[in-house]
């Protein structure tokens, strides 16, 4: 399939490597992280409350000990047994609606594991992606300095341009199903290695994802029966509630955007002085994407205005169909899927 070829080409393209990524957590990083953490945050299925770590952050000796213990897995490439036990909590998306497909599953990880991922991978990778402008300007979610209103503003400006210039355009709204729960683990590990994170970090994450054990928490307590990833039925994604879930989704989004076929039509906006051309495929906030196509169809003066309009509308809708199908295949190739019930075009 052509989408797979484009993705493989993106993965084979050299990109700037992360510098000074060792997997080690310093004493100061441990202290600053837990001083900013909220003690009310639910975490640690083992019973190690986040308040224990906040108390340790008040003493330099204890902070040094805890930072070394948190560094061992990422430095030596293994996953502690305590980190492999995760408690799942299901919350209602709509109050009073307890149907299974309307429940949001949140995974509660060990606090030191969550913060270790944030320090070792989250901070350095996010700064690296932003410094080298590797994330598409289409994406406004999970990025510093960006807000959900930023994506809305882009859509409003695009619609205003289309209305004021009487341009024919077509748009489609796409929503991805559980983007954090469908990320392909092997693809994430490949991207971590591609960005030159230490191999021990990837080994730690790979072992944890392969051997993680999930328990389910309800009003009746925590289940004795567990489930986990098996070779014949692997579990994907870092889980909702993971500190690096947004980062891993940004990595997959980067692959999707970089893999778009450049020959596919997009939205084109020409400045009033006709010297600046802005070309963009749309705007996104996390997994919600708005894609669009503007017309560059040339009117035929020998035909009637009605026939010209029918042709330009057919052209724009056809180009939007190509873009939407291409986007869906790229999303599917990276583990995602389109939620048809929440998607529409106009």
Residue 285: closest CA among 158, 83, 139: 139
Answer yes or no: are the C-beta atoms of 254 and 135 closer than 8 Å.
yes
Please give the pLDDT value at position 14.
87
- Here the tokens at position 250 are 């940004």
Q: Which residues have C-beta within 8 Å of that of residue 243, sequence separation ≥ 6?
A: 114, 115, 117, 118, 122
Please give the pLDDT value at position 306.
76
Please give the pLDDT value at position 282.
94
- Here the tokens at position 95 are 């109050």
> How many other C-beta atoms can be found within 10 angstroms of the C-beta atom of residue 56?
19
User: What pTM was computed for the model?
Assistant: 0.89
H or E element that contains 340: none
Give the DSSP letter string of 265-300: --EEEE-TTS--EEEE-EEEETTEEEEEEE--PPP-
| Tens-level pLDDT at each residue, the chain (346 residues) | 678 888 888 888 888 888 878 889 999 999 999 998 888 776 778 888 888 999 999 999 999 999 999 999 999 999 999 999 999 998 888 888 888 878 888 889 999 999 999 999 988 899 999 999 999 999 999 898 888 899 999 999 999 999 998 889 999 999 998 888 889 999 999 999 999 899 999 999 999 999 999 999 988 889 989 999 888 888 888 888 888 889 999 999 999 999 999 899 999 998 888 899 999 999 999 989 999 999 876 666 666 777 778 888 899 999 999 999 999 999 998 888 998 888 999 9
- Here the tokens at position 76 are 């030596």
Answer yes or no: are the C-beta atoms of 11 and 194 closer than 8 Å.
yes
Please give the pLDDT value at position 113.
93
Residue 104: closest CA among 177, 37, 7, 48: 177
Please give the pLDDT value at position 242.
85
Please give the pLDDT value at position 297.
66
């Amino acid at each position: 399939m052509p989408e797979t070829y484009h993705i493989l080409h993106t993965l084979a393209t050299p990109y700037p490597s992360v510098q000074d990524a060792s997997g080690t957590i310093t004493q100061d990083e441990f202290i600053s992280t837990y001083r900013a953490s909220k003690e009310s945050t639910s975490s640690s299925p083992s019973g190690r409350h986040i308040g224990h770590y906040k108390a340790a952050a008040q003493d330099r000796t204890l902070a040094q000990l805890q930072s070394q213990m948190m560094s061992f897995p990422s430095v030596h490439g293994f996953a502690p047994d305590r980190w492999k036990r995760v408690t799942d909590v299901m919350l209602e998306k709509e109050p009073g609606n307890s149907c299974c497909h309307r429940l949001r599953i949140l995974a509660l990880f060990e606090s030191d594991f969550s913060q270790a991922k944030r320090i070792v991978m989250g901070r350095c990778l996010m700064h690296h992606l932003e410094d080298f402008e590797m994330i598409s300007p289409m994406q406004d979610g999970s990025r510093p300095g960006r807000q959900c209103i930023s994506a809305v503003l882009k859509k409003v400006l695009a619609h205003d341009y289309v209305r004021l210039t009487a341009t024919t355009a077509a748009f489609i709204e796409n929503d991805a199903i559980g983007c954090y729960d469908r990320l392909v683990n092997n693809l994430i590990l490949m991207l971590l290695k591609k960005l030159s994170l230490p191999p021990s970090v990837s080994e730690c994450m790979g072992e944890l994802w392969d051997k993680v054990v999930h328990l389910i928490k309800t009003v009746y307590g925590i289940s004795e029966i567990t489930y986990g990833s098996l070779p014949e039925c692997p579990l994907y994604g870092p889980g909702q509630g993971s500190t690096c879930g947004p980062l891993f989704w940004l990595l997959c989004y980067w692959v999707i955007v970089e893999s778009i076929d450049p020959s596919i039509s997009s939205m084109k906006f020409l400045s009033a002085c006709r010297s600046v051309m802005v070309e963009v495929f749309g705007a996104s906030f996390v997994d919600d994407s708005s894609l669009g196509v503007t017309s560059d169809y040339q009117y035929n003066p020998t035909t009637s205005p009605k026939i010209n309009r029918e042709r330009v509308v057919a052209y724009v809708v056809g180009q939007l169909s190509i873009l939407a199908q291409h986007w869906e295949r790229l999303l599917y190739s990276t583990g995602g899927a389109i939620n048809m019930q929440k998607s529409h075009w106009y």
